[in-house]
């Protein structure tokens, strides 16, 4: 690893395909060491193009991409030693087994035979494929191939892991397993650059997010700050005892409350979202003799922010 401040960064990255398609338009991003960064945007936004430039599968029309301070396109052999990547569909030979494939990759990376054997056992156990070590990869489900792609990406213990739709084809348990794996990678000091359409998964995994639209970065921030920027004007309340029709009428009479509906044994309503109004509503309920056990303003979500920012950019 170099002493560069960032694990990965791009400067004014531009990519044109042919004469008319501008896939990336002056993209400059910075990814700190040990971060999990989500890269979000609609189909065709330029996410995979960025990833392919970082891994030297494509060359930019102009601008630069760096891995640990090294130009990824001018010195690819050096940068690829630092990177593990899962891009689109994992490239594997269907007739080989995980052991055959990983043995080959270990030799490419100059690993000793004994180290290769130990590492195969370790990574296949980690991605829940230990029982399939000697089975043909062609017999794997889509989800299993995805997990094997992650095993291949981390086999040489890279500094930076680049994942393009890592949970594609996985069931909810598989998604949770991958989420936990990614968080474990961070604990081990690895940087993870994660492209995904599943915003809930990104919100549960990433430290920060970058939003890309039509080849341009339109926003970037920590997940916490993004969620805080979405104002929700809905509130849910639970009570010690079920509300009678009279209780509901008394609550509805509180001036600040609108659009009240019974929900999950309590109520949900709209208000102006301010802390002062929240305090006023809660005090009004207590004055009316209602025993409140939970008073919870709804928080915005990463999906809410994504929809709002893409609408502002004219994306449908």
Q: Quick one: pLDDT at residue 231?
A: 63
Inside any domain, residue 229 = no
Answer yes or no: do 156 and 241 share one domain.
no
* Number of domains into which the chain is organized: 2
Helix (H) or strand (E) holding 25: strand 21-27
φ/ψ (deg, to 5) at 218: -105, -15
Instruction: Answer with the one of 175, 203, 223 that is the final residue of a domain.
Output: 223
Inside any domain, residue 228 = no
Instruction: Answer with the one of 223, 243, 275 that is the final residue of a domain.
Output: 223
Answer yes or no: do 131 and 276 share one domain.
no
Expressed as residue numbers, the domain containing 158 is 6-223
313, pLDDT greater than 80: no
Q: Quick one: pLDDT at residue 314?
A: 55
Answer yes or no: do 105 and 254 share one domain.
no
Inside any domain, residue 145 = yes
**Residue reference for tokens 């990759």:** 105
Instruction: Answer with the one of 200, 223, 246 that is the final residue of a domain.
Output: 223
pLDDT band at 1 (very low <50, low <70, confident <90, very high): very low
- Compute the distance between CA of residue 115 and CA of residue 129 in angstroms, rounded to an integer: 19
Inside any domain, residue 161 = yes
Answer yes or no: do 219 and 243 share one domain.
no
User: Which pLDDT tens digit goes with each residue over 123-147?
Assistant: 999 999 999 999 999 999 888 888 9
Answer yes or no: do 162 and 245 share one domain.
no
CATH code of the domain containing 242: 3.30.70
pTM (predicted TM-score): 0.79
- Compute the distance between CA of residue 187 and CA of residue 36 in angstroms, rounded to an integer: 11
Q: Is 180 exposed, middle or buried (0-12, 13-18, 19+ CB in 10 A)?
A: exposed
pLDDT band at 316 (very low <50, low <70, confident <90, very high): very low
Note the Cα 246 to chain centre separation in Å: 46
Inside any domain, residue 303 = no
Inside any domain, residue 163 = yes
pLDDT band at 206 (very low <50, low <70, confident <90, very high): very high
Percentage of residues of the chain with pLDDT beyond 70? 95
pLDDT band at 168 (very low <50, low <70, confident <90, very high): confident
Answer yes or no: do 200 and 266 share one domain.
no
Answer yes or no: do 211 and 270 share one domain.
no
310, pLDDT greater than 80: no
Answer yes or no: do 53 and 16 share one domain.
yes
Answer yes or no: do 217 and 104 share one domain.
yes
Answer yes or no: do 219 and 156 share one domain.
yes
Answer yes or no: do 247 and 179 share one domain.
no
Mean pLDDT of all residues in 192-206: 90
- Compute the distance between CA of residue 150 and CA of residue 143 in angstroms, rounded to an integer: 11
232, pLDDT greater than 90: no
Answer yes or no: do 206 and 239 share one domain.
no
Inside any domain, residue 314 = no
Binning the chain into helix, strand and coil, the percentages to the nearest 5 are: 35, 25, 35
222, pLDDT greater than 80: yes
CATH code of the domain containing 29: 3.40.50.300
Inside any domain, residue 315 = no
């Amino acid at each position: 690893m170099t002493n560069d401040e960032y694990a990965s960064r791009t400067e004014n990255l531009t990519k044109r395909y042919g004469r008319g398609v501008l896939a990336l338009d002056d993209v400059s991003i910075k990814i700190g060491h040990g971060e999990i960064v989500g890269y979000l945007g609609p189909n065709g936004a330029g996410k995979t193009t960025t990833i392919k430039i970082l891994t030297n599968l494509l060359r930019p029309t102009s601008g630069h991409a760096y891995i640990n301070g090294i130009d990824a396109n001018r010195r690819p052999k050096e940068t690829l030693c630092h990177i593990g990547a899962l891009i689109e569909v994992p490239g594997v030979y269907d007739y080989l087994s995980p052991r055959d494939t990983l043995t080959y990759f270990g030799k490419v990376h100059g690993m000793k035979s004994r180290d290769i054997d130990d590492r195969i056992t370790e990574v296949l156990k980690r991605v829940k494929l230990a029982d399939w070590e000697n089975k043909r990869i062609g017999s794997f489900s889509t989800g299993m191939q995805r997990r094997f792609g992650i095993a291949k990406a981390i086999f040489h213990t890279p500094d930076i892991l680049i994942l393009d739709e890592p949970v594609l084809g996985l069931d909810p348990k598989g998604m949770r397993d991958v989420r936990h794996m990614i968080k474990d990678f961070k604990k081990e000091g690895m940087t993870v650059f994660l492209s995904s359409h599943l915003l809930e998964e990104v919100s549960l995994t990433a430290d920060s997010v970058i939003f890309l639209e039509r080849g341009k970065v339109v926003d970037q921030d920590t997940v916490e700050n993004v969620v805080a920027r979405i104002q929700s004007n809905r509130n849910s309340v639970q009570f010690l005892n079920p509300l009678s029709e009279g209780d509901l009428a008394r609550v509805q009479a509180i001036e600040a409350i609108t659009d009240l509906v019974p929900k999950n044994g309590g109520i949900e309503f709209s208000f102006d979202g301010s802390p002062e109004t929240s305090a006023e509503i809660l005090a009004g309920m207590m004055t009316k003799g209602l025993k409140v056990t939970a008073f919870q303003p709804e928080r915005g979500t990463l999906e809410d922010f994504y929809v709002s920012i893409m609408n502002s950019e004219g994306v449908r």
